[in-house]
Amino acid sequence: NAGVTQTPKFQVLKTGQSMTLQCAQDMNHEYMSWYRQDPGMGLRLIHYSVGAGITDQGEVPNGYNVSRSTTEDFPLRLLSAAPSQTSVYFCASSYSRGRTEAFFGQGTRLTVV
């Protein structure tokens, strides 16, 4: 049981490049989310999903796309990287019923130069 797995752990991009951050969970959680962490601002929600085929925007969705074709996977795509997207990204998953706490991946530290 690996929990929530994020890849890569570190990434450096040039402005304008695109990339996909991978997230997979093996706990059969219905809910999955992406957050970004910036100094002094806590974590902010980018996109979330309540199940396969269903996604919606969070607080800071601009510049990011998501899709959820399976229960297990929830990739985050950066369409055209900008220096403002330099951040630490966390993927999380949780149950829709019963236990409500979110389980987080290890995080991806992204630098856009």
Partner 1 sequence: AQKVTQAQTEISVVEKEDVTLDCVYETRDTTYYLFWYKQPPSGELVFLIRRNSFDEQNEISGRYSWNFQKSTSSFNFTITASQVVDSAVYFCALIQGPGNTGKLIFGQGTTLQVKP
Q: Which residues bind partner 1 (CB under 8 A)?
A: 30-33, 35, 40-45, 48, 50, 58, 88, 90, 92, 94, 96-97, 99-104, 106-107, 109
Which two three-digit tokens encode residue 94? 């949780």
Task: Rank residues 17 and 58 by Cβ distance to partner 1 and give the closer one.
Answer: 58
> Measured from the CB of residue 94, what is the shortest distance to partner 1 in angstroms?
5
Q: Which is nearer to partner 1, 11 or 31 (CB)?
A: 31
- Pick 14 or 42: Cβ nearer partner 1: 42
21, 67 in Cβ contact below 8 A?
A: no
Which region, left, alpha or beta, applies to residue 40 given φ > 0 means left and ψ of -120 to 50 means alpha? left
| CA atoms of 81 and 64, how far apart (whole Å) | 9
Whichever of 13 and 90 has its CB closer to partner 1, that residue is 90
Closest separation between CB of residue 69 and partner 1, Å? Answer: 18
